[in-house]
Amino acid sequence: MKDSLFSKVLELVLEEVPAGRSLVLLSEGEGVLRARLARGIDWEADHDVCRDIVEKAVEAGQPLLIRDFGVHPLYRGHSSVRSKGPASALCLPLLAGGRVGGAFYMDRTAAEPPFNAGDLELLAAAAVFLNHILASSSCGAPAGGGNGNGRMPLLVGQDARFLRVMALVDRVKDSGASVFISGESGTGKEMVARTIHETGSRRSGKFVAVNCGAIPDNLLESELFGYARGAFTGAVRDKVGLIEEADGGTFFLDEIGDLTFPLQAKLLRVLEDGAIRRLGETRTRTVDVRWVSATHKDLDIEVREARFREDLYYRLKIIPIELPPLRERTDDLLPLINHFAERYAREMRRPRPYFSPGALEMLFHYPWPGNVRELQNEVQRSFIMAGENNLIREEFLSPKINPRKETYSDDSRRLTTARSEFEKRFLREALARCGYRRTRTATEIGITRQGLFKLMKKHEIETP
């Protein structure tokens, strides 16, 4: 049944986007791809440029559009291109459960017009249905690794500097030593702190975080240490402090460089004695806390300028971890883009969109002064701006990323109409095959009944 559905989608796509050769591949795990539908290509025997294109798209998790192999810097010297092989190609990875589960490949000869942006957008629209079918079937095992529990990881990356950070996190997670995390704003200091907690021996305890620069000085002491009833005006009941709340777990002090000198002295006492005293009380309370702190400031300079206590600095910095800025983690841009796209797809209960090659190029060339946080916000914004489009185009990026306001296509209205007609035709044929039984139709094409009703309403499809 699944192969017949793939075949039907392929037929509809080829009517809109003709191609000399086409191929649908599904992953069998461990990086093995098997052809399920092939026209003009023997995946097992042919070793021309199509294999390289597919492997690159699967690895990236994003589409590839090669308009002209003859002028492309990576392929113009390829043997199959020189021997009058494909002149233009289009490949879209298929997604299942947030992982790449296969690929849809098409190519054309020099006698045919090259693929263009509109062809990719139509293929992305078809991928919505292909991905639904793939996710609802047992075929299409993830082409890459994963934890298998469906949970999104806190930290993502493959850059060498990032991997060194993760190796250090793994070594210190079960120790009780204080960890000091430094790095520019937005590099993910709190995510590293959470990873240390959630993967370490204290994961059964609480993770309590406080931003020292976000709470006024006159309130921060009572927040950290708590207070007894009547300790000051307005203290109508006892209050447990944040440090005490983290007993048995991890206490994360973000922007520790903003802590005032008097509070630095009191925090040092807690670190030395392992005990706190609530405001208005005379007795001490023992606390067992794993200390993790972070700042974007250079505390060596702060200590030299007498703005931060040297003794506290060394008590907090037993194990230092330095996070590199995103501009120095260029290999991590694509994994992070895919990670945040999948995250917001789950949150908004929508298919994970693809990014057009032009949009990706703009994201790759931006310097990201706000680091990972800025990239996360940009992906979320572009996701929202794209609306129901399954392809995030250049015009959906913010002006700082796309300052010239470049657009993906000069004929976006035609593309929108063609995409809508494709969806409408696919739904009509699926309903007809299932005898217009909506539940059966939704099950066959891999979407919910509510999703089917929404699409029928969108395309004004009535059942007899």
Q: In terms of domains, do 386 and 256 share one?
A: no
Residue 404 lies in a domain: no
Q: In terms of domains, do 141 and 183 share one?
A: no
Q: Is the pLDDT score of 448 beyond 80? A: no
What is the pLDDT confidence band of residue 16, given thresholds at 50, 70 and 90? confident
d(CA 5, CA 36): 12
Q: In terms of domains, do 239 and 214 share one?
A: yes
Q: In terms of domains, do 382 and 427 share one?
A: no
Each residue's pLDDT tens digit, 45-69: 766 678 889 999 999 999 999 998 8
Q: Is the pLDDT score of 245 beyond 80? A: yes
Each residue's pLDDT tens digit, 348-399: 888 889 999 999 999 999 999 999 999 999 999 999 998 888 899 999 999 9
pLDDT of 419 = 67
What is the pLDDT confidence band of residue 418, given thresholds at 50, 70 and 90? low
SS3 content of the chain, % helix, strand, coil (to 5): 45, 15, 40
CA distances from 249 to 9, 143, 270, 339 (A): 52, 37, 15, 28
> Given 373, 396, 419, which residue is the final one in a domain?
396
Cβ atoms within 10 Å, residue 15 = 10
Query: What number is the average pLDDT over the span 286-298?
Result: 94
Q: In terms of domains, do 164 and 87 share one?
A: no
pLDDT of 148 = 44
Query: What number is the average pLDDT over the span 80-84?
Result: 57
Torsion of CA 70, 72, 77, 79, to 10 degrees: -70
d(CA 345, CA 340): 8
Q: In terms of domains, do 86 and 67 share one?
A: yes
Average pLDDT for the chain: 86
CATH code for the domain in which residue 275 is found: 3.40.50.300
Residue 461 lies in a domain: no
Residue 153 lies in a domain: no
Domain range holding 344? 327-396
Q: In terms of domains, do 346 and 436 share one?
A: no
Residue 76 lies in a domain: yes
Q: Are 213 and 255 in contact (CB under 8 A)?
A: yes
pLDDT of 168 = 96
Residue 12 lies in a domain: yes
CA distances from 159 to 224, 306, 370, 411 (A): 37, 36, 18, 38
Phi, psi of 67, deg, nearest 5:
-75, -40
Residue 167 lies in a domain: yes
What is the pLDDT confidence band of residue 97, given thresholds at 50, 70 and 90? confident
Work out how many domains the chain is built from and give that number: 3
What is the pLDDT confidence band of residue 446, given thresholds at 50, 70 and 90? low
CATH code for the domain in which residue 340 is found: 1.10.8.60
Which has the minimum average pLDDT: 166-170, 271-275, 367-371, 404-408?
404-408
CATH code for the domain in which residue 98 is found: 3.30.450.40
- DSSP 8-state symbol, 116: -
Q: Is the pLDDT score of 83 beyond 70? A: no
Residue 430 lies in a domain: yes
Q: In terms of domains, do 104 and 192 share one?
A: no
Q: Is the pLDDT score of 144 beyond 50? A: no
Q: Are 90 and 49 in contact (CB under 8 A)?
A: no
> Given 300, 323, 346, which residue is the final one in a domain?
323
Q: In terms of domains, do 250 and 183 share one?
A: yes
Q: Is the pLDDT score of 143 beyond 70? A: no
| Helix/strand/coil for 125 | helix
Q: In terms of domains, do 12 and 126 share one?
A: yes
